[in-house]
Structure 1
Amino acid sequence: MTNILSGLTVIDITQNVAGPFCSQILGDLGATVIKIERPVHGDDTRHWHPPLWGEESSTFLALNRNKKSVCVDLNDPKGQEIIHQLCKTADIFIHSLKPGSEDSRGLSYEQLSAINPALIHASISAFGDKGKMKNKPGYDPLIQAYSGIMSLTGNEGDDPARVGVSIVDMGTGMWCLIGILTALHQRNETGKGSKVASSLLETGVSWVSLQLSTYMASGNLPKKMGTGMATTVPYQAFKTKGDQWAIIAAGNNRLFKSLCTALEMPELVEDPRFESNSVRVQHREELQQLIEERTTQYELDDLVNLMEQYNVPSSPINTIDRVLRDEQVNALDMIKAVDGFRVSDFRMVDLPFRINEERSHLQSLPPLLGEHTEEILASLNSTEEQYKSLKV
């Protein structure tokens, strides 16, 4: 897999989560990724700690493998010239600068495509590059709030809650990557580069597309559903012994009948309140109470095993330590140990797909700040004096 994009060069002027996640995937697939960082400070995530892994931010380490770090001051005309030189032979340029600020640095699509017409220019912003809010900064929780995700998260009556993972940031990295790969395909046919624009807000809106469709169809605002789903019942978490929880997803009549058989509750199948999904949705709370009276009689693993015997989709609600030890997760080889790294016991979470049964391979460890500055500038025939002037 690491040879698929080999030969492509990426100039990455992003930081935090969305952009680095996007460029890390490109690096995992074999592209050469040159990560441009501010001198001295570097990517903000280098300072997102605790926790530290060794002496480094675990967040930075999770998002920046297979890259080279080059320190360049983008506010210095000499630094901007370095980026121009790199872009002459690069294939992809990714930035997360505030919309419009790339123009003042000579890094807009129009400016860079004049240097290299085949360059794919990709941007990641918070609220998009149009409209009155285009210059506003934004982070994952802000967009979860603004896009409506937060209004749907948690149990009814609870205080607002953020989805516990960086779903907007990492989703934006993925959507930006999809745009880049599409532009690469188009370039193979036309020879011309493209302008790819993505934003956290557009990602957030796309994640609530089902709820938007429901509202547009019914005029009813979706409610917080906890672990449940508005359109299907039973499809949620049920308590077991010891205040542990299992998700049971009986998403059709056949599965509902299997669930009732497994729990020795055949009377529910004959009950007119539960005879079809549409009426089960109307009697959600009554059905949940009846099922949970039975599930609380089981130990968690016993209930999950029982569901498996009757082919009813279910899962324990795992904590992260259980995920790390999980037999199925490890059978998929998702989490890899890396030997000989400056951080002891370093492990990485691999890409969530395989091609011809092959996963990606770690080609280079997350770089130290400015680790490759001299190497890259030397390749541009920069003089030592020029290099020193940039190292501030």
Structure 2
Amino acid sequence: MGALSKMKVIDLTQVLSGPYCTMVLGDMGAEVIKVEKYPHGDDTRQMGPFIEGESACYMMVNRNKKGMRVNLKHEKGKQILYRLVESADVLVENFRPGVAAKLGIDYETLKEINPGLIYCSISGYGQTGPYRNKGGFDIMAQGLSGIMSMTGEQGGEPVKVGIAIHDIAAAMTALYHILVAYIHKLNIGEGQYIDISLVDSGLAWTVWEAAAYFGAGEIPRPNGTRHRVSAPYQGFRTQDGSVLVGAANQKLWEKFCLNVVGKPEWITDPRFREGVDRQANVDTLAQLIQEIFITKPSQYWLDKMEAEGIPCGPILSYDQALQNEHILARDMVQEVEHPVAGKVKTLGFPGKLSATPGHIYRPAPTLGQHSEEILQSLRFSAEEIKQLQEEDVI
């Protein structure tokens, strides 16, 4: 039994930010009912690659949910949602602002049915502000937050972060706000409204960059793999690949000079003596280290740094990462049996709880898989369910 086994969640979201948030709630034991739009469901179902006709992208972020397909534009479809809301703790939606109100399923409407409802809206720019009505995907949020302007190599064009960082940031921001609201509800029985934006969520992660700007007016620029204030703290090419070096404090720096690159004179060199000196001369320092590192293979340098306790590591391709012995030992790759796709691999749980660990209770639902089961639990008769099907409500 998971820690959230008494929580009931209605998931009206699609694609990534909302589904990721509700997936984690499901991983922790919550009962999650995913209500997909009629007739085609979550847009992610159309995204490849496909395994036996089922979207791998959809399956990745919709495990541990029951699924139904409901036409919320139909009055009877709205009535189904209202019945679900009566006993729900949480509802999560990621419509564009204004759409939920137009459908009659906004917070103001639903809190009349259930005052204890925690209603979380996730959108590109939030429910307020001059951009509230704009459509916003992850890449637009990366642009507006300034993150894209500081990503990439020096002198290069702005680069999108390799993952959908604002989508996941919004998912995690929504998650901890939902949990805070749930604690509040457990204490006094009161629900509340939560407004989450992709832009705000990613921007909140730029803490070092904000410190540099608010503290000294510095505008972060692309740095490649370099750290903004520590050196050497970056990647270097080797004879057969690349490695990461994290000699980020004075003790590690001196070990690096003495026992890794064999350059004791760097310790007293005025260009590199202190951390501020190394940062001020980082271009020169990086070039000197690079000239040495390129002469030996990666493992040679990794072994030398490991022996000195200097943080270091390889730069793996994604397939290498998912086959790495440490990743596998941490159970970050798991398998789940899907009724159509068969055995499929999925990512594991990043947090390791001793008493209430995450668990895969069920695979992602097929389209409308649990519609009848859920309606029966809401005391719809067989005749009513048949009529709803005939009227294209479910």
- Give TM-score, length-normalised by structure 1: 0.96
Q: Which residue does the alignment assign to 1:15?
A: 14
Q: Which residue does the alignment assign to 1:366?
A: 364
Q: Which residue does the alignment assign to 1:301?
A: 299
Retained in 1: the 8 A contact 2:66–2:370? yes
Mapped pair 1:250 → 2:252: no
Distance in 2 (alpha carbons) for counterparts of 1:260 and 1:75: 68
1:123 shift after superposition = 0.8
Distance in 1 (alpha carbons) for counterparts of 2:355 and 2:262: 42
Structure 2 counterparts to residues 326-345 of structure 1, below 5 A? 326-339=324-337, 342-345=340-343
- Between 271-280 and 355-364, the greater mean CA deviation after superposition: 355-364
Equivalent position to 2:125, from 124, 127, 130: 127
SS at match of 1:6: coil
Alpha-carbon spacing, 1:344–1:301, altered in 2? closer, same or farther (3 Å): farther
Amino acid aligned to 1:38: K
Retained in 2: the 8 A contact 1:377–1:387? no
Alpha-carbon spacing, 1:357–1:116, altered in 2? closer, same or farther (3 Å): closer
1:102-131 deviation per Cα after TM superposition (whole angstroms, max 9, x unaligned): 122222222111111111111101101101
Would you say how many aligned residue pairs link Structure 1 and Structure 2?
389
Mapped pair 1:207 → 2:205: yes
1:342 shift after superposition = 3.2
Structure 2 counterparts to residues 65-80 of structure 1, below 5 A? 65-80=63-78
Amino acid aligned to 1:34: I
Q: Which residue does the alignment assign to 2:287?
A: 289
* Cα RMSD after superposing both structures: 1.5
Distance in 1 (alpha carbons) for counterparts of 2:140 and 2:21: 20
Retained in 2: the 8 A contact 1:374–1:387? no
Alpha-carbon spacing, 1:36–1:343, altered in 2? closer, same or farther (3 Å): same
Q: Which residue does the alignment assign to 1:159?
A: 157
Equivalent position to 1:103, from 91, 98, 101: 101
Equivalent position to 1:380, from 356, 374, 378: 378
1:343 shift after superposition = 2.3
SS at match of 1:111: helix
Alpha-carbon spacing, 1:359–1:322, altered in 2? closer, same or farther (3 Å): farther
1:215 shift after superposition = 1.4
Amino acid aligned to 2:230: T
Structure 1, unaligned stretches of length 5 or more?
none
1:339 shift after superposition = 4.7
SS at match of 2:204: helix
1:49-97 deviation per Cα after TM superposition (whole angstroms, max 9, x unaligned): 2x22332221111100011111111212211111111000011111111
1:380 shift after superposition = 2.0
Equivalent position to 2:271, from 247, 252, 273: 273
Retained in 2: the 8 A contact 1:246–1:316? yes
Distance in 1 (alpha carbons) for counterparts of 2:390 and 2:300: 65
1:260 shift after superposition = 1.1
Distance in 2 (alpha carbons) for counterparts of 1:300 and 1:173: 36
Structure 2, unaligned stretches of length 5 or more?
none
1:176 shift after superposition = 0.1
Distance in 2 (alpha carbons) for counterparts of 1:379 and 1:389: 20
Amino acid aligned to 1:385: Q
Once superposed, which parts of structure 1, at least 4 consecutive aligned residues long, lie more than 4 Å away?
none
Q: Which residue does the alignment assign to 2:347?
A: 349
Q: Which residue does the alignment assign to 2:167?
A: 169
Retained in 2: the 8 A contact 1:78–1:390? no
Retained in 1: the 8 A contact 2:39–2:71? no
- Between 187-196 and 52-61, the greater mean CA deviation after superposition: 52-61
1:391 shift after superposition = 4.1
Equivalent position to 2:92, from 91, 94, 97: 94
Alpha-carbon spacing, 1:191–1:340, altered in 2? closer, same or farther (3 Å): closer
Retained in 2: the 8 A contact 1:140–1:166? yes
Distance in 2 (alpha carbons) for counterparts of 1:283 and 1:152: 20
Identity %: 35
Distance in 2 (alpha carbons) for counterparts of 1:332 and 1:8: 28
